[in-house]
Amino acid sequence: MSTIKPKSSIATMVSYTPNHGGAKKPGKVIRLSANEGALGMSPKALAAMHSADPDLHRYPALGASRLAEAVGRRNGIDPARIVFGCGSDELIQVLCLAYLEPGDEAIYTQYGFLVYPMATRIAGGVPVVAPDDEYTVSVDAILNAVTARTRMVFLANPNNPTGTYIPQEEVKRLRAGLRDDILLVLDAAYCEYVTKNDYDSGIEMVESHDNVVMLRTFSKLYGMAGLRLGWAYGPKEIAATLESIKQPFGVNSLAIAAGIAAVEDLAFQEAVLESNNKWLPWSVEKFTELGLEALPTVTNFLMLRFPETDGKTAEDARRFLAERNILVREMAGYGAPDTVRLSIGTGEEMRDVVDALADFLGKERPAS
C-alpha cells in the first residue's frame, strides 16, 4: 500500500467513468451515449478553427473577450459577467473550490448530473442528495435537504439524465425558499432545446439575484464537446472570483475561434433544433409502438425503460445495440438500471436504432 493517500474527502469517491460503450465492429458507429448535438459542429465554426492555425504557438486570449462579446450579444447579457471554462465541468469544479469550506454541504438531485457530487468532494465538501419525484426535480425535496451547513444547490434544468425540467415559477420558489447565503447554480446545458413557454434558462434569475449562477455549454446543441467550452453567467463578484481561481488558459484558442463563429451561426442552430423537433417525437412514437416506455423529455435525449424479463432488460438492450455499433448510455451509475439513456441522432441514425430495437425485442420493424 502506498504511504501517500489522497485527502479523506475524496477517499470514497467513485471515479466517474462515463461508459460510452466501445464500438464492437469497425465501420460506422452511431454514438447516442453522450447527448452531443445530432448534426455535429457548424461548418462556419470548423472554418474559423482552421483560420486560427497561424496563432496556435501563442497563448490564448485571456478572458476570451471577443467570445464574451459574441455570447453576450446572442443572449442579450453583459459580457463582463461571463466566465469561460474548459467545458462547464471545469466551472462546476471551480464553483465548488471557490464556495465550499471543508464540511460544507452542496445539494444535488437524485438523478442529477454525477459531476456535482464529485466536484463537491474534490473541494472537501459533502454532497447531499434530494430525491426526485417521478424522475423530475422536486423543489420541496431540495428545500427539505437544507441544513445549517448548506452552501450550494445544483439544479440541472432541464436535467440530465432524465430529460425533464421544472418551470420558471418553481425555480423562483426554490430560490425564495433558500437562505440568501446559499448559492443556486442553474445548469442549463440543454436550455436551447426547450420549447416550453414556462421555462427560463436562468438568465432572468441571474439578473435579479446576487446569489444565482447559470452554466451553459457548447458541448450539446453546438456539437463542440471535443473542444471543451462552457461558460458561467453570474453576479459581478462571483464572476470575478471564478476568473481569479480558474486556470488562466483553460480555454484554448481553437475553442475560442470556433465558439465565436458557432454562436453567430443562427442558421446552424436552427437546423439542429429543427432536426431534434422532428426526430424526437418520431423516435418516441416508434419506441412506444415497440412497447417501450420513453420517459418525457424536453431535450435532445431520453430515458428508455425496458422490461425486467431475462434477455430483454436495459443491459441486454445496451449490449445488443453495441454489437451493432449503436452506443447508448447505461443508467446503473445513476440508479436507474431498468433504463438506458440515448440521444436523438439524425433521422437515418434513429431509423437504424428503431430497427435494431425491433430486432432485439423480436418484433416487426415499424414502418417509417
Ligand X SMILES: *Cc1c(COP(=O)(O)O)cnc(C)c1O
Choose between 132 and 187: whose C-beta lies nearer to ligand X: 187
What distances in angstroms separate CA 228 from CA 19, 89, 311, 357, one per listed residue? 19, 9, 38, 32
Give, as ranges, the residues between 186 and 205 that touch ligand X (CB under 6 A). Answer: 187, 189
Q: How far apart are the first and last CA of the chain?
A: 58
Based on CB atoms, which residue is closest to ligand X, 95 or 189? 189
Nearer to ligand X, 162 or 286 (CB): 162
Residue nearer to ligand X on the CB measure, 34 or 141: 34
- How many whole angstroms separate alpha carbon 227 and alpha carbon 142? 33
Q: How far is the CB of 257 from ligand X (least distance, A)?
A: 17
How buried is 82 (Cβ within 10 angstroms: 0-12 exposed, 13-18 middle, 19+ buried)? buried
> Between the CA of residue 27 and those of 153, 352, 354, what are the distances in Å?
43, 14, 19
- Grid cell 452531443 in the structure block, residue: 36
Applying CB under 6 A, among 95, 225, 242, 284 the residue interacting with ligand X is 225
Largest CA distance in the chain: 62
Closest to 262 measured CA to CA, from 55, 53, 39:
39
- Sign (positive or negative) of CA dihedral 283, 273, 302, 133: negative
At 19, list the grid cell: 461508459
Task: Based on the shown chain and the rule CB under 6 A, indicate whether residue 297 belongs to the binding site for ligand X.
Answer: no
Residue 344 binds ligand X (CB under 6 A): no
Q: Which three cell numbers stand for residue 257?
A: 475561434
Partnered with residue 126 across adjacent β-strands are 105
Query: How many residues make contact with ligand X (CB under 6 A)?
Result: 14
d(CA 35, CA 297): 13
CA angle 99, 103, 109 (to 5 degrees): 75
Q: Peptide bond preceding 158: is omega within 30 degrees of 0, i.e. cis? A: yes
Question: Does residue 157 interact with ligand X by CB under 6 A?
Answer: no
Least CB distance from residue 42 to ligand X, whole Å?
17
For residue 193, the minimal CB distance to ligand X (Å) is 11
State the nearest-atom distance from the C-beta of 289 to ligand X, in Å: 28
Q: Which stretch binds ligand X (CB under 6 A): 53-61, 87-95, 133-141, 327-335?
A: 87-95
**CB of residue 27 vs ligand X: minimum separation in angstroms?**
27
Question: Which among 8-16, 144-152, 216-224, 286-294 is the span making contact with ligand X, rule CB under 6 A?
Answer: 216-224
Q: Does 219 bind ligand X (CB under 6 A)?
A: yes
Under the criterion CB under 6 A, does residue 113 sit at the interface with ligand X? yes
Q: What would the x/- binding string for ligand X be over residues 44 to 63, using CB under 6 A?
A: --------------------
Closest approach, Cβ 228 to ligand X, in A, equals: 6
Distance CA 86, CA 248 (A): 11
CB of 291 to ligand X, least distance (A): 28
Residues that bind ligand X (CB under 6 A): 35, 87-89, 113, 156, 160, 187, 189, 217, 219-220, 225, 230
